[in-house]
Amino acid sequence: MNSDLPKVLHEVADRPMVHWVVDACEAVGCHPIVTVVGHQAELVRESLADRSACTFVEQREQLGTGHAVEQARESAGQWPSNADVFVLCGDGPLIRADTLRTMLETHRAVDAAATLATAVLKDPAGYGRIVRDGSGRFQRIVEEKDASEQERTIREVNPSYYIFRAKDLFDTLLKIDNQNAKGEYYITDVFARLLESGERVEVIDAVPAEDVLSINTPDQLAEVDQVLRSRLGGQGKIPKAEATR
């Protein structure tokens, strides 16, 4: 991003991108919102200081997405025994509350241990691919660096929208390993492990391609800014009550 600022604090439509994600979570009633911080953690804490739903845990070592979620284990010990938990990325400001509602409703209606929303992209480069069997049933998520040449042709991708039964999530995190191309603990491995345990994993194609635009460069940041401003009717910065309604 050509900046020392944490990625999630770069502004989109006049607000740090992580605030748009918090808005969507608040709109569907998430509480608490456990924010995993690492690089320049204090800046992220300060930015979200007025968001009463947000609590913070620190990932001191960057050992992967599964390791990041693991940092919330202590907080999860204070949740109800039947709690469901969204796992989302802080750098996805185009996220829609309606998508999260659809996920939550489906997840509970079918009594799934985990539910993920997918997207179909013309160019899936950079994203984990959704691998299905010959009958179209979900098998696993394969990260691009670990994917075969054939798997890289898959256009259904993982935009990192997840919901889990909290107990199943944290029990299964103990079973994943880092035997992959990056040597990291992937949250995506939890889904295959759940299936192996006989649990239900639900997959819904619910994320519009527009919502998963990557933000890794200033040009991409500007593109997402334009999309969000257009979605907001050119209002730019909107009142918080409007954003979370």
CATH code assigned at 113: 3.90.550.10
> What's the full length of the chain, in residues?
245
Residue 3 — very low, low, confident or very high, per pLDDT cuts 50/70/90? confident
Is residue 206, in this structure, part of any structural domain at all? yes
**30-42 confidence digits (pLDDT tens):** 999 999 999 899 9
Q: Is residue 122 part of a domain?
A: yes
The kind and range of the H/E element at 114 are strand 114-120
Q: Band of the pLDDT at 234, cuts 50, 70, 90?
A: low
Domain presence at residue 236: no
Q: Evaluate whether residue 12 is within a structural domain.
A: yes
Angle ∠(235,237,240) on CA atoms, nearest 5: 115
| Backbone φ/ψ region at 233: left (φ over 0), alpha (ψ -120 to 50), beta | left
How big, in percent rounded to 5, are the helix, strand and coil portions of the chain? 35, 20, 45
Question: How do residues 67-112 score in pLDDT, each as one tens digit?
Answer: 999 999 999 999 998 999 999 999 999 999 999 999 999 999 999 9
Compute the average pLDDT of residues 226-236.
Answer: 82
Domain count, the chain: 1
Would you say residue 229 lies in a domain?
no
> Is residue 209 in some structural domain?
yes
Give pTM, 2 decimals: 0.91
The domain of 218 spans 7-224
Q: For residue 245, what pLDDT is reported?
A: 25
Q: DSSP code of 8? A: G
